[in-house]
Structure 1
Amino acid sequence: MPLTALISSTLRCGRAHKHTPATMKQRRSTVLGDTVEMTDRFVFNAKEGVDNPVMVNTEDSVHVAGPSPRLCVLKKDHGEHFGFHLRVERGRPGHVIRHVELWGVAGRSGLRDGDRLLEVNELFVDDMEHMEVARRILVSGPLLCLLVLGSEEYEQAVAQGWNLREVARAQRGDAWNPPRLCHITRDPVAGLGFSIQPVHGEKGKFTINPVSGGPAEKAGVRKGDRLVWINGAMASEFPHSAINKMVKKCSDHMTVLVIDSVSEESYVRRRMPVVPVLADARSMVHRPRRLWLAQGRSGYGFLLRRERGVAGRLVHMLREVEAGSPAEAAGVKDGELLLEVNGETTESLSHDDVVSKIRQSGQNLILTTMAVHGQDLYTQLGLPPLLFCEDLSSSNEEHESPTALKSLAPSAESQEELQEEPNPRLCLLQRGPIGFGFHLGCSQQKSGTFINQIAAGGPAESSGLLQSDVVVEVNGQNVEEESMEDVILLMKKEGSSLSLLVIDRPGYEWMKKNARPITADKASEVKENTSPSSTQQMP
């Protein structure tokens, strides 16, 4: 999903269709292009080692008393889409699967309308922010492993107090460990430090055994590990002699995908491929880093340039990081590639588009960066680098997490502390050349669509809108019970003028608790803004 507008919680994963009256209502959740398209037939891919993964639907997983999640493995070819939407819906907990294309990849995998998403690529996501879940689906590449519960079963499990994380874990078995991507750097004396042997009686299977204290062991290879993948190629596709030649020809480093034999049995039982998208990649070098910046008095302290990389491809490069700047404090390094701005990939964006995205961030910014050598390595291995991103936010806790990837609906004070009835505000905006200057957000834990991010100097800021304000009405129409997608569609229909009745979160909760109506006749009108926004994309 281009997380570009960051105001839609819809993840679109379907082919484009003609908009007939019968389909318009069904497709209302596809807004602002804030979608990801993911569908169709399959071609055997030696790197993935599975010829028809979408037919996997593990009804025969480990059976436990209680909810029985289903595993759906989706595989799309180049230019295809997965064929489903992912939504947050008011009144329905969890991440909801919608609009599953019957004959698309999702439909053939066993995914059903109304399913709730528990795991993405074996990572538990039920308690994760919706935008981050969408991002993880986006960066997974052509193979996607989803663990889901049916709609009724999910809601019953929640009502009965089941620990859904444990439910998800149980279907893998007790002795499960994920596969490991191990990047091994050759030692001048010890070499790569491992040997490979065929498994007796099992064609196409090999064990890899590290030398004690050698480079392979330091990279995470363990004695008796099964070798699944070597430098981007499935080991099962080669004879033992060819694999040994590959190892001997290796110059400075080698990357292998390995798994212990017990965990391998878990994947075989579930008919699930052992692939890099599921791997623990802590030993990988040049991993992308997600950095959190808080704007200083003179900005962030770096320059962005569009340069031509080693392979001749244009890339966004970070340059001239100023000493003592927020960029330096966050860990930005001169000469790094800029892969994402606030969770949105920069690959298809122009230089001006990226600059605009940075300016839209206001006082906080998330940059995903990577060394140039990293791009070369992941390209050679055929892996999407964003799949292995390190989040460095925990190492710099004084920086508030930007709202681009995390829905913020803070309660600044307890509702009991309010002494007077709060006043809603009527904010009037005029659209500028590139928008009204704000993003919307929603949260499963709190009701109401709210103002999630405001561009500095834009129409929203000038109109008096504040971050975390709850949107009660749009141009006189109450939207408290509407989904965020429908609120966005309503705003898009209203042309160049926008009237928003809003109230701060503590005030909204107080009014609801005391059964007080929130109406425009009690609102204080904030000045109308007529200046165009030059920094923010329209919601």
Structure 2
Amino acid sequence: MRYTEPGDATDVPQKFTFNPKEGIDNPVLMISDDPEPDLCPRSCLLKREVGQGFGFYLRKESGCRGHVAQQVAPWSAAERSGLRDGDHILEVNEAFVDDQEYTKVVLKVQASGLQLCLLVLSAAEYETAVREGIDLMALSRAHRGEGCTRPRLCHISREPGVGLGLSITSSEGKRGKYYVSPVSEGPAERAGVQAGDHLLSINGVPVSKLTHSALIKMVKKCDEYMTVLVIDSRSEESYVRRRLPILPTFASSHNLPHRPKTIHLTQGPQGYGFLLRQEKLTTGNIAHLLREVDPCSPAEAAGMEDGDLLLAVNGEQVENAEHEDIVSRIRQSGQQVTLTTISIQGRDYYTQLGLSPLTFYEENIPQIERFPTNTLPSNNLPRPRLCTLHREDTGFGFKMACSQTERRVYVGQVEAGHAGERAGLQEGDVIVEVNGQNVEHENFEDVVTLIKKGGTSLMLLVVDKDGFEKLRTSGVAITLDVSSLNTQVPDSTQENFV
């Protein structure tokens, strides 16, 4: 759209006439038989309270493109933002994710903090876009506007004789509006600061309400470094137009220290060689720390250090998980596990910025490679499934039944949309183990007692009825060693509640 000053000749409305014999007298105007589909991505800003979720499931169907919002909870942050069942998510916090792996997208959502911004298309619009071969990344860029870039988090290290290498000026007539100018080839410029950038925050503290003198005092107190959130004026206009706040989670990172690290562990004869402890930090927050790393153990060889904080297990965020759940996830991994960790200093740094350390964690965490086992004599035999369920208000979402003649307990009914279905339970599945204890020869009442003793988390090793009979006939012991891990949903889909 072109803007013209009042009085400009181009500001005069142009008249066009239509003659049925001659057509439209504007040679530039053309009519197409195949107009571009009218696709309108929507921005949804979700705001949740501490201890609550955003109120929707993120679903990925095997063999299908995109990431879908499902089961948007009534009155939740998701519903209040305008998110609807079936919406396809194009961007998470201004980052395009339609072509990203499902686990990465889940991690971005989980690490977003109390506010989450999604750019979405309705199911019908998404289907049209895919059918028409429309470039969804270009569509997302067009929604932001030409020339709009994400804000930048820039970590500036003070250097002798140069300092931070930038100057800060205030905007006349606009209180709390500050701009930065980096010294050419100085620390600030090398950290990603550009001339004319609008300064939004320093070390996580917004500057919009600070006087100029208070701002200068804050800068002088930054002894060794300063991390600033900045944005160029053109991009800022895009956020104003879209009525979006400029959040640190939207930013691209430049030169940030204390990056999380990935540790790939292979179990040795004595285990992994470390302890996982839940401890209270000096800040009062509860954290899961890696302690007592044994010399010459797999943990030490992989680079684990005593006191590191555990952030994720096999690519799944565990910062806010219960200690028992984390231990369970590690044990379920079998002989291999991938841990994402950070030092306490690193955790404090990101906390100061109001961010999760996983916000800018882009390393691809590979799926666990399960070791071959000689327990099964043939690959044609069925594989049991290990399903992890988390209790809801109405229970675990399934009912059990028993066969008195064949002395086995099985899943009689699975409630749609609840914990049992999400974990992958199916009607008719024979329950082989409950929380690691074999129940093949236990009576119904004893199995119920075991489940009740398990608390809010339940691990079931199950196999379908026909598979159970085949394994019994073959004489193969049905154990975790021959199971394929399934902690969320059946193989056809992936789904996480956020």
> CA deviation digits over 1:135-154, x for unaligned, max 9?
32111111111011111111
Residues 1:152 and 1:101: Cα distance change in structure 2 (over 3 Å)? same
- Give the aligned residue type for 2:426: L
Q: Does structure 1 residue 108 correspond to structure 2 residue 74?
A: no
User: How many pairs were matched up?
Assistant: 393
Instruction: Measure how far apart 1:356 and its partner are.
Output: 3.7
Alpha-carbon contact 2:411-2:429 (below 8 Å) kept: no
Write out aligned runs for 1:359-374 (5 A).
359-374=331-346
Write out aligned runs for 1:241-390 (5 A).
241-295=213-267, 299-300=271-272, 302-306=274-278, 309-311=281-283, 315-319=287-291, 327=299, 330-348=302-320, 353-390=325-362
Instruction: Measure how far apart 1:65 and its partner are.
Output: 5.5
Q: Which has the higher strand share?
A: 2
**SS of structure 2 residue aligned to 1:165:** helix
Residue in 1 aligned with 2:91?
Answer: 119
- Give the aligned residue type for 1:499: V
**SS of structure 2 residue aligned to 1:159:** helix
* Cα distance in 2 between the residues matched to 1:532 and 1:161: 44
Gaps of at least 5 residues in structure 2 are 1-35, 371-377, 390-409, 414-418, 433-439, 441-461, 489-498
Residue in 2 aligned with 1:444?
Answer: none
* Cα distance in 1 between the residues matched to 2:58 and 2:76: 15
Gaps of at least 5 residues in structure 1 are 1-63, 394-399, 405-421, 430-435, 441-473, 478-482, 504-519
Instruction: Measure how far apart 1:198 and its partner are.
Output: 1.4
* Cα distance in 2 between the residues matched to 1:487 and 1:309: 33
> CA deviation digits over 1:285-310, x for unaligned, max 9?
11222343444666545554555544
* Cα distance in 1 between the residues matched to 2:69 and 2:240: 26
* Cα distance in 1 between the residues matched to 2:323 and 2:165: 44
Instruction: Measure how far apart 1:333 and its partner are.
Output: 3.7
Alpha-carbon contact 1:424-1:522 (below 8 Å) kept: no
1:84 aligned to 41, 56, 77, which one? Answer: 56
TM-score, L = length of structure 1: 0.62
> CA deviation digits over 1:470-523, x for unaligned, max 9?
xxxx9899xxxxx994672436986556433799xxxxxxxxxxxxxxxx9999
Residues 1:205 and 1:486: Cα distance change in structure 2 (over 3 Å)? closer
**SS of structure 2 residue aligned to 1:178:** coil
Q: Does structure 1 residue 425 correspond to structure 2 residue 381?
A: yes
- Give the aligned residue type for 1:213: E
Instruction: Measure how far apart 1:271 and its partner are.
Output: 1.7
- Give the aligned residue type for 1:97: A
Residue in 1 aligned with 2:463?
Answer: 499
- Give the aligned residue type for 1:70: R
* Cα distance in 2 between the residues matched to 1:296 and 1:176: 51
* Cα distance in 2 between the residues matched to 1:78 and 1:327: 33
TM-score, L = length of structure 2: 0.67
- Give the aligned residue type for 2:217: K
- Give the aligned residue type for 2:368: P
* Cα distance in 1 between the residues matched to 2:109 and 2:348: 23
Residues 1:107 and 1:475: Cα distance change in structure 2 (over 3 Å)? closer
> CA deviation digits over 1:286-339, x for unaligned, max 9?
122234344466654555455554446554333565677654565434442222
Residues 1:172 and 1:312: Cα distance change in structure 2 (over 3 Å)? closer
* Cα distance in 2 between the residues matched to 1:228 and 1:279: 12
Residues 1:248 and 1:96: Cα distance change in structure 2 (over 3 Å)? same
Q: Does structure 1 residue 152 correspond to structure 2 residue 99?
A: no
Residues 1:271 and 1:212: Cα distance change in structure 2 (over 3 Å)? same
Alpha-carbon contact 2:423-2:486 (below 8 Å) kept: no
Residues 1:113 and 1:524: Cα distance change in structure 2 (over 3 Å)? same
Query: What value does the CA root-mean-square deviation take over the aligned residues?
Result: 4.1
Moved more, 290-299 or 521-530: 521-530
- Give the aligned residue type for 2:45: V
* Cα distance in 2 between the residues matched to 1:73 and 1:345: 22
